[in-house]
Structure 1
Amino acid sequence: MREANIRRSVKISIDIIALLAGFVVSFFMKYDLNWSKHFNTGYQVSYLLIFICGYYMLSMQEKSWHYISVIDIMNIIILNMGSSVIFFLGVIFFKISFPKHLLVLVVILCSVGQLGVRYISR
């Protein structure tokens, strides 16, 4: 039981690192060396909290990483898209200044990062 909990913690940690890296890389790709002027860690924290809630609501910690199947790929893409939609609605509702067109790049890079790590590990 303890080993399973450690394994789940490692899985979610790797997914979080891939997500955060995708978020930072998307800002870097958009703004080049001026990315830090436009980046706010509040964006990352908000997106991450939404992602983690969705991660546990979909029970991805239980069924992820066994193997890469079409269902796993779709779940990751749906989770990232859903997180982005909720984040986007929060940006609009709370009138946060976030480059909205950047969300597409965030979804793509976060999904590719998570799927890439899964592919490499298997």
Structure 2
Amino acid sequence: MKLNNFELAFVLGRLLLGVNFLMHGLVRLPKLPVFRAGILKEFAASPLPPGLVSAFATVLPFVEGGIGLLLVLGLLTRPALMAAMLLIISLVVGSSLLEKWSLVGDQLLYGLYIITLVIHLQRNRLCLDRLPTS
């Protein structure tokens, strides 16, 4: 399959975001208790209940890894991008509660990146989404 430049750009962008999310998840999984403890400490002064923060920190690497794997494979790409945006929105809320505005700015860039991929979703090629179903 020959890809035009727009299709190639989308595939490379999807892979880049997918690898980013996948690596976030994979790096955090082996040190999950340490990661969770760090998040709990960071949010200790926030209005969020510790149980909610702990649950979020526990699930976060699995969600990041799952979204990343789906994007790398190009499987359920649209729902994966929607999940990625919902995750980024939740991170913006948390970072805002901590008043970490530079981090919010970084997360807004992730959001713009995801929006760009959604806008160009029709260019998705080299993906499992395009395999014929029986």
Same fold (TM over 0.5): no
Q: TM-score, normalised by structure 2?
A: 0.34
Q: TM-score, normalised by structure 1?
A: 0.36
If you compute each CA radius of gyration, which structure gives the higher value, 1 or 2?
2
- Point out which structure has higher relative CO (alpha carbons under 8 A, 6+ apart): 1
